[in-house]
């Protein structure tokens, strides 16, 4: 999938190999993130809002038609130019997605939640560049990076999807920006470090336990493969680089000793 600046990598097996790619969809707005939907199709954080995506039967030809059903476009007339950024489905079948200001205006970022019935709710304000989010296996803990601040925050999530109490600081990074995240089967949090050429793996208590070098300047996000659970997919970006390297703007693959959690689907409980 393409449509501009990318965020979270899909955990589809096609991402394991360039030779395995079978379809390419193009939007006319920047695509931040997608998650699979129960019954088929995708939910996407893209451009000014959040939409449902359905692909025609011609998918696989390399130029599939796509039907877009916008659930909300909160930034069509925003005084501060904004775009949707990273997003993910949680184990309860909800979709969470952040929005960021193009110009980096401090505190202009937000986090939205989409319930399985398609209703869209603004749940957090005062962020700048929200990335992630990622969830514990039971969905009661949410990890959310504010990349501009170099911090990963931790929130308690209620059964109804409400945020229970204030954020706790889970981890901080001084020399890079925490970007996309995922949680593995042991409950440890993986974070891509934009500008840091590495991944961090944190214990559930927030201790840094592993550092994985990445041969690219700007790792953007992480996902575990559904074809090979111990295979980790890492996306990288060329944005802002005057001389991008061969592995900037790519999807990289590495093996791990731990597996990922099942991929959550919008509209279905894990």
Q: What is the pLDDT of residues 30-55, one digit of tens each?
A: 999 999 999 999 999 999 999 999 98
Q: Is the pTM above the cut of 0.85?
A: yes
| 179 tagged catalytic | yes
What average pLDDT does the segment 241-255 reach?
A: 95
So what's the pLDDT on residue 22?
A: 55
**Cα separation, 81 vs 15, whole angstroms:** 31
Task: Check whether 84 has a pLDDT greater than 70.
Answer: yes
CATH number for region 13-255:
2.120.10.30
Alpha-carbon distance values, 245 to 69, 72, 73, 250 (Å): 37, 37, 35, 10
Question: Does 131 show up as a binding residue in the annotation?
Answer: yes
**Cα separation, 180 vs 33, whole angstroms:** 10
The active-site residue, picked from 16, 86, 90, 179, is: 179
What average pLDDT does the segment 184-203 reach?
A: 98
Map out the domains of the chain as residue ranges.
Answer: 13-255
Each residue's pLDDT tens digit, 21-31: 555 677 889 99
**Cα separation, 153 vs 79, whole angstroms:** 27
Question: Does 83 show up as a binding residue in the annotation?
Answer: yes
Cα Rg of the chain (Å, integer): 17
Element (H, E) at 128: none
Question: Does 77 show up as a binding residue in the annotation?
Answer: no
So what's the pLDDT on residue 23?
A: 54
What average pLDDT does the segment 70-83 reach?
A: 94
């Amino acid at each position: 999938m393409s449509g501009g600046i990318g965020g979270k990598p899909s955990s589809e097996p096609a991402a394991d190999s360039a030779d395995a790619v079978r379809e390419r969809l193009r939007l006319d707005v920047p695509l931040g993130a997608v998650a699979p939907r129960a019954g088929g199709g995708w939910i996407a954080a893209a451009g000014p809002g959040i939409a449902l995506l359905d692909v025609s039967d011609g998918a696989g030809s390399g130029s599939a038609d796509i039907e877009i059903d916008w659930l909300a476009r909160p930034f069509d007339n925003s005084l501060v130019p904004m775009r949707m950024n990273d997003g993910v489905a949680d184990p309860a079948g909800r979709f969470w997605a952040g929005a960021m200001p193009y110009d980096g205006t401090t505190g202009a970022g937000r986090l939205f939640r989409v319930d399985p019935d398609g209703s869209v709710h603004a749940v957090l304000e005062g962020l700048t560049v929200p990335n992630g989010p990622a969830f514990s296996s039971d969905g009661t803990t949410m990890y959310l990076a504010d990349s501009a601040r170099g911090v990963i925050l931790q929130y308690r999530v209620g059964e109804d999807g409400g945020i229970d109490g204030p954020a706790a600081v889970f981890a901080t990074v001084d020399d890079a920006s925490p970007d996309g995240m995922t949680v593995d089967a042991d409950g440890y949090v993986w974070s891509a470090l934009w500008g840091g050429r590495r991944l961090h793996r944190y214990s559930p208590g927030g201790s840094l336990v592993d550092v994985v070098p990445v041969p690219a300047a700007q790792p953007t996000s992480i996902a575990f493969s559904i074809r090979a659970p111990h295979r980790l997919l890492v996306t990288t970006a060329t944005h802002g680089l005057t001389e991008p390297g061969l592995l900037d703007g790519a999807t990289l693959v590495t093996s791990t000793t731990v597996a990922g959690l099942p991929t959550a689907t919008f509209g279905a409980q894990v």
